Amino acid sequence: MFTRPRRALPQYRRPAEHGGDLSRMKERSQAPFPESPPSASELAERVVRAADREHPADDVLRAELRGQRSLSREAGAQVSKLVFSYFRWLGWLDRGSPVRERINHAWDLAERYAAQPQSFTDAELLSRAVPDWVATVMKPSADWVRALQAEPRLWLRAHRGQGRAVAEKLGDCRVLGAGSLGDTLEYVGRSDLFRTGAFHAGAFELQDINSQAVGFICSPRPGEKWWDACAGEGGKTLHLADLMENQGLLWASDRTPWRLTKLKRRAARARVFNYRATLWDGGPRLPTKTQFDGVLVDAPCSGIGTWQRNPHARWTITAQDVKELSEVQTRLLLNAAVGVKPGGRLVYAACTLARSETIGVVAAFEERCPHFTREPVRDPLASVAAPCDLLYLWPQETGGNGMCVAAWRRAPG
Which active-site residues does the annotation give? Answer: 351
Residues linked to residue 206 through DSSP beta bridges, in sequence order: 156
DSSP 170: H
**3-class DSSP state for residue 362?**
helix
Q: Residue 19: which region, alpha, beta or left (left: phi > 0; alpha: psi -120 to 50)? A: left
Query: Could you please report the per-residue DSSP string of 53-118?
Result: SSS-HHHHHHHHHHT-TT--HHHHHHHHHHHHHHHHTGGGS-TTS-HHHHHHHHHHHHHHHHH-GG
Distance CA 176, CA 151 (A): 19
Residue type, 306: T
Q: Is the dihedral of CA 330, 229, 349, 409 positive or negative?
A: positive
Distance CA 307, CA 147 (A): 10
Q: How many CB atoms lie within 10 A of CB 190?
A: 9
Beta carbons within 8 Å of 201's beta carbon, 6+ residues apart: none
Closest CA to 383 of 179, 212, 185, 208: 179
**How many whole angstroms from its chain centre is CA 227?**
21
Beta carbons within 8 Å of 81's beta carbon, 6+ residues apart: 107, 110
